[in-house]
Structure 1
Amino acid sequence: MTEAKVNRKYKDTIFRMLFKEKENLLSLYNAVNGTSYVDTDGLEITTLQDAVYMNYKNDVSFVFDFELNLYEHQSTVNPNMPLRDLIYVTTVLQGIIRDEDFYSSKLIKLPTPRFVVFYNGTEPQPHKQILRLSDAYEKQLDLPELELCVTVYNINYEENKELLEACKVLKEYAQYVAMVRKFAMEKPLAEAVEQAVDTCIKNGILEDFLRKNRAEAIEMSIFEYDEEKHLTSEREIWKQEGILEGRKAGIHEGRQEGESRLAKLLELMLQGNKKDNVEKALADAEYREKLYKEYHL
């Protein structure tokens, strides 16, 4: 069987498809918050229609119980999630309060923002960690005047068992991902994904979802796994060649530039199917500055 060609651009994911269903999303909310809500009538999906804003994607955002929840799945470690969520949440809030009068003497009430990342990459991470926007500030203050906290859960199978047991769909998703990775070590990726789908259906893991969306699930899984491997490989190359510190590019903008701005630019270029332009971005400072503006970095 030949490997399916991967179109390296943002597209739907298994996680997003599973949890755009209100029943599944409410179950996930209950697992995260230790609640037991059953009525989805009060759950309002607020995910941006095009799923991408200024190159920042979000898997699902929703308002429930006076909270604005932004949930995202990640298969690679990303310390910049607080900044990404800050940019994204302002747009969602603009939509929520678009009919309000900003100059009114009446206080505009807002749903309380909550930010969660579900991580299932191969790089070891804690069961739970908190990322703070203030960690990125060049000048640290005891009480930063703008703060945003993101809770990151490691949802790899055999990790965070209490959380996984509290949400059946999340647990089965973790099992499915683990199965794809296992079979991918033994055979070509397309074959591995098909075997994982067949095995899961046989064992009642995401059975209804995979039967209904078999072809799409296989295509998305190939894309996700290939992208995960690609980004992990590229990051390792950047580290080995000193690209993260800007040395190969001859950049003298300091350690933060190499570790954050350039690394983010390269990642976005790879995700946007612009791999052929990476070498030029590293060698040409003027072109690189143009890209920074294009990607709002």
Structure 2
Amino acid sequence: MGKNKGKRSHTKHVFVQKKYRDALFRRIFNEKSVLLELYNALNQTDYDDADELIFYTIDDVIYLGYKNDVSFIVRGTLNLYEHQSTLNPNMPIRGLIYFGKQYESYIKQNNLNIYGKKLLSLPFPQFVIFYNGVEPLEDNKDYIELHLSDAFICAESNHLTTNAAPRQPVVTTDMPVSDIDVPDSAAQNTSSPISTRPCLECTARVYNINYGHNQELMARCRTLEEYSILIGRISSNVRNGIPLEPAADAAVQECIRNGILKDFLIKHRSEVVGMLLEEFDMDEYIKMERRDSYEDGHEDGLAEGKRLEQLHVVHNLFQKSIPAENCADLLNENTDFVNKIYSLCHAHPDWSDEDIDNALKEK
């Protein structure tokens, strides 16, 4: 690997679209030392030479409708790391096609002879999805696996019989990528009915990186934890009724003040908010807010519900020591309304939203 130090390998264009976005996750982890930190955290290794890591990416394209986040080779492993805010059950299919293209490129670049009598040595594939969407993973777990074989048409529909029960998705709390099932040689050499074992498999290992999940992994990779904190603060701001752009900007400023991704955010601040606006799945939050509003009994009084929601947000911002003028700007709200709430909060710091609302109605 020494002769490849410091280089990037690239495959040819695949399914090219002119417009694509460079995800914030990809931008953060596109630095070798930071990416190696993440690799070590997942695999519980302690490699310290970032120059051993070789980026192995698809050049300037969206692949199958999505630009891959980070792909690289290190210590004989070919790794594809993707960030997802919406869980996609077809990730193993995309992984299969992606790895096929990568191996094709690897074979050509290394002048390997697939028609020779000697068994070739190929880098070991690892496919990891970092998920931070609104909806929880199955059973609110930290980790699940998605399998290509779950997409295959049932063998019974092809008039093949099998007694094998359908496999359920693998769900566990936290499994390192290095925990890979490798069948023993006896099992590999034992014949089995064609209907029970497909000749292809691709496993996508999905980690929930919403703040509070996979805490052991976060403890091993501080950068991943700080990314999770940033996204979590944006989510919290949006839930509190702050429009997306000021919610993102406020979260970025707060993180800089608290030393969260500070150097990165200062360096790329002009780009980061724009990237977050493109990535943030506002539709999911709108659905969630509607669901929460329904559960809270506000569906019959939308105007009243909106007023109470704004009151709650203003109250929260007061508790975070956000000046009244800034609060009004963030919410695009009437200054008088904000000032009245702030005055009551100053006079009665222990009051609840309901107490403040009752006082406003009496005025």
- TM-score when normalising by structure 1: 0.72
Give the SS at the match of 1:97: helix
CA contact (8 A) 1:67 1:112 kept: yes
Q: Are residue 116 (structure 1) and residue 128 (structure 2) matched?
A: yes
**Residue of structure 2 equivalent to 1:208:** 263
**Residue of structure 1 equivalent to 2:274:** 219
Deviation at 1:14, TM superposition (A): 1.0
**Residue of structure 1 equivalent to 2:147:** 132
Amino acid at match of 1:113: P
CA contact (8 A) 1:76 1:232 kept: no
Amino acid at match of 1:212: K
**Residue of structure 1 equivalent to 2:41:** 31
Q: Which structure has more RCO (C-alpha within 8 Å, separation ≥ 6)?
A: 1
Q: Are residue 195 (structure 1) and residue 247 (structure 2) matched?
A: no
Residues 1:193 and 1:65: Cα distance change in structure 2 (over 3 Å)? same
Following the alignment from structure 1 to structure 2, what is the Cα–Cα distance between the partners of residues 145 and 53? 25
- TM-score when normalising by structure 2: 0.59
**Residue of structure 2 equivalent to 1:246:** none
Deviation at 1:40, TM superposition (A): 1.1
Amino acid at match of 1:103: Y
Deviation at 1:143, TM superposition (A): 2.1
Following the alignment from structure 1 to structure 2, what is the Cα–Cα distance between the partners of residues 106 and 56? 36
Deviation at 1:183, TM superposition (A): 1.3
**Residue of structure 2 equivalent to 1:43:** 53
Q: How many pairs align?
A: 225
Following the alignment from structure 1 to structure 2, what is the Cα–Cα distance between the partners of residues 122 and 158? 13
Following the alignment from structure 1 to structure 2, what is the Cα–Cα distance between the partners of residues 127 and 92? 29
Q: What are the superposed Cα offsets for residues 99-118 of structure 1, whole Å, 9 maximum, x if unpaired?
A: 22232223221101111000
Q: What are the superposed Cα offsets for residues 60-105 of structure 1, whole Å, 9 maximum, x if unpaired?
A: 1111111101110000011111000111111111111112223222
CA contact (8 A) 2:21 2:67 kept: no
Amino acid at match of 1:149: T
Q: What are the superposed Cα offsets for residues 236-263 of structure 1, whole Å, 9 maximum, x if unpaired?
A: xxxxxxxxxxxxxxxxxxxxxxxxxxxx
Following the alignment from structure 2 to structure 1, what is the Cα–Cα distance between the partners of residues 127 and 252? 31
Q: Are residue 155 (structure 1) and residue 167 (structure 2) matched?
A: no
Deviation at 1:56, TM superposition (A): 4.1
Identity of aligned residues (%): 46
Give the SS at the match of 1:157: coil
User: What are structure 1's unaligned runs of at least 5 residues?
Assistant: 1-8, 235-297
Deviation at 1:49, TM superposition (A): 1.2
Give the SS at the match of 1:129: strand
Give the SS at the match of 2:212: coil
**Residue of structure 2 equivalent to 1:86:** 96
Amino acid at match of 1:25: L
Q: Are residue 104 (structure 1) and residue 157 (structure 2) matched?
A: no
Following the alignment from structure 1 to structure 2, what is the Cα–Cα distance between the partners of residues 232 and 43? 37
Deviation at 1:173, TM superposition (A): 0.2
Residues 1:54 and 1:121: Cα distance change in structure 2 (over 3 Å)? closer
Give me the CA root mean square deviation.
1.8
**Residue of structure 1 equivalent to 2:218:** 164
Following the alignment from structure 1 to structure 2, what is the Cα–Cα distance between the partners of residues 160 and 24? 18
**Residue of structure 1 equivalent to 2:283:** 230
User: What are structure 2's unaligned runs of at least 5 residues?
Assistant: 1-18, 156-194, 288-363
**Residue of structure 1 equivalent to 2:73:** 63
